[in-house]
Amino acid sequence: MAGLTLQAAGFSSHRGRSTATFSLAMLLALFVLGSDLSLVAAGEQQKSARPNIVLIMADDMGYECVEANGGTSYETPRLNEMAAEGLRFTHCFSQPICTPTRVQIMTGIYNQRNYVRFGLLEWNQTTFGNVLQKAGYKTCIAGKWQLEGGLDAPHHFGFDKYALWQLTRRPSRYPSPGLEIMGKEKDFPGKYGPDIASDFICDFIEENKDEPFLVYYPMILPHWPFEPTPDSEEWDPKSKGAGNSQKNPRFFVDMVAYTDKMVGKIVDQVDRLGLSENTIILFTGDNGTATSVVSKMGDREIQGGKGKTTEAGMHVPLIARWPGTMPAGQVCNDLIDFTDVFPTLLELAGAEKPKKIELDGRSFAPQLRGEEGNPRDYIHCWYARNGGPEGVQFTQDKDWKVYANGSVYHVSADPLEKQDLQNSLDSLTQEDRGRLDKLQAALDTYVGTRVLLQAQGQKQNAQKKSNNKNKKQSQNKKTPQ
Ligand SMILES: [Ca+2]
């Protein structure tokens, strides 16, 4: 074993810690588990083919929750490792809450053109799942759905395999969870929801290791209720779940740790199968941290800002890993918003954009390959939780933010947006006024472009069916977020 350790350590000196794990796994495969050789060989054959893509999105985990970003309230060793091996983005912005983000990331379109209301992905939309599936990718989604449409919806939106919480009902998401898996509602007494979803993904990756695959993992964690994980001392497998409780943010610490562990579980599975160099793994978050949570970045305290259009509501982690292609340990300060994910996945997969859809974002695939790319000058946001004709709308760069209602904030100095500068623009430098003019001009191109979609019959029918079927099983009637 000493020889193995030495050899693995030798690899790690120039390739990073996870590669050491991979190397050790490979050596174990070679020396101990001869039957696993086929797994490694299958993975290595894929190097020149289209990369596998794994997109992981935590639920309610802001930028400040990751140690690699400077967070000091939580332990995130696996995310830190991903950042050390890959690329960490410092300026990625989601939408302020779940559904606006989920619709935007999946369709690549700003909310003003296709967002209907909370908890719904309109049936006539095209997702990256649809396009990559058509391009020959095997596709899987596991984790949280919350987009209606019934048991057929994940297939309709381009996913071959699914294991989802909150597709047709809303039971406990953590202890003794209920999920919908490939057309069936299944309950798991004594189990933990995130374990079920991540196991499903690991199985999918193994089953599809010889073909290009897409995994979309909108995580169940670390959204409230704040309650023990299987790694907490207080874990009780017989618990019925803590409902909507946000009373114990101390468990949020354990939940962030478990989120990190689940990311590591997926990374380890990719490595174990010899797929690391042909698999790009992206980790992000769907919106800021819950408002009941206060986290620290050194001396700086950050109150969670979920639901707000401030930095605390929309600034999220984005970390990418692609050993062998992406230079290790890099930091990218480019602005990214969630319309950019769809065109990025298209470019990575070499897939064509369908003519019928017009995407709003721009690909950051070049940055993932260590190239300069074509970074944005600004990000845009249109946000209205419940839809309707009017939304909060703004453009911002790394320093300045201009709202459609006229408010102006120097966000790099005033992240909480306490001081509206719209009436004191004369005191700004000419350079800053020039930047504001550009942001205003960009914003003007979006103002008035709201589209109110009509509900689609097919979706309504699917929803009706699913509602009838599940009326009795619904255990949670409170407003979801
Ligand atoms: Ca969320």
Question: 205 C-alpha vs ligand 1 centroid, how far in Å?
Answer: 25
**Using CA atoms, how far apart are residues 268 and 226, in angstroms rounded to an integer?**
27
pLDDT band at 463 (very low <50, low <70, confident <90, very high): low
Q: How far is the CA of 105 from the centre of ligand 1 (A)?
A: 13
Rounded Cα distance between 24 and 432, Å, is 53
Q: What is the pLDDT of residue 75?
A: 98
pLDDT band, residue 479 (cuts 50/70/90): very low
Residue 315 C-alpha to ligand 1 middle, in angstroms?
12
* Cα 98 to ligand 1 centroid, rounded to whole Å: 4
Structure tokens at 90: 């410092």
How many angstroms is it from 318 CA to the middle of ligand 1?
15
State mean pLDDT over 396-410: 98
Closest CA to 215 of 143, 123, 148, 120: 143
- Which of 9-13, 102-106, 114-118, 127-131 has the lowest average pLDDT? 9-13
Spacing, Cα 62 to ligand 1 middle (Å): 10
- Mean pLDDT across the stretch 23-31? 44
Greater model confidence, 386 or 470 = 386
CA distance 202 to 222: 20
Q: Determine the distance separating the centroid of ligand 1 and the alpha carbon of 287, expressed in angstroms.
A: 5
CA of 417 to the centre of ligand 1 (A): 22
Query: What's the mean pLDDT in 134-153?
Result: 98
What is the arithmetic mean of pLDDT over 17-42? 42
pLDDT confidence of residue 393:
98
Cα of 50 vs centre of ligand 1, distance in Å, is: 31
Residue with tokens 């390959």: 369
> What mean pLDDT comes out for the span 434-442?
98
Give the residue carrying structure tokens 């990331």. 105
Instruction: Read off the pLDDT of each residue in 90-99 and give the average, rounded to a whole number.
Output: 98
Task: For residue 123, give both structure tokens.
Answer: 């049936």
CA–centroid distance, residue 376 to ligand 1 (Å): 25
Q: Do 120 and 107 meet the contact criterion of CB atoms below 8 Å apart?
A: no
Q: Give the mean pLDDT of 173-193.
A: 98
Determine the average pLDDT of the residues in 120-128. Answer: 97
pLDDT, tens digit, 9 for 90 and up, residues 341-369: 999 999 999 999 999 999 999 999 999 99
Note the pLDDT of residue 2. Answer: 32
**Tell me: the pLDDT tens digits for 218-270?**
999 999 999 999 999 999 999 999 888 888 899 999 999 999 999 999 999 99
**What is the Å distance from ligand 1's center to 307 Cα?**
9
The rounded Å distance from CA 59 to ligand 1 centre is 4
User: What is the average per-residue pLDDT within 149-158?
Assistant: 98
- Angle of helix 17-31 relative to helix 37-44, nearest 10 degrees? 130
- Cα(165) to centroid of ligand 1, in Å? 14
Q: Tell me the pLDDT band of 468, cut-offs 50, 70 and 90.
A: low
pLDDT, mean over the chain = 89
Helix (H, G, I), strand (E, B) or coil at 212: coil
Which of 2, 1, 480, 4 minimizes the C-alpha distance to 243? 480
More confident residue, 471 or 382: 382
Q: pLDDT tens-digit profile of 284-324?
A: 999 999 999 999 999 999 999 999 999 999 999 999 999 99
CA pair distance 160, 137, nearest whole angstrom: 10
Q: Is the pLDDT score of 446 beyond 90? A: yes
Closest CA to 362 of 108, 23, 111, 118: 108
- What is the reported pLDDT for 292? 96
Q: What domains sit in the chain, N to C, each tagged with a CATH number?
A: 51-379 (3.40.720.10)
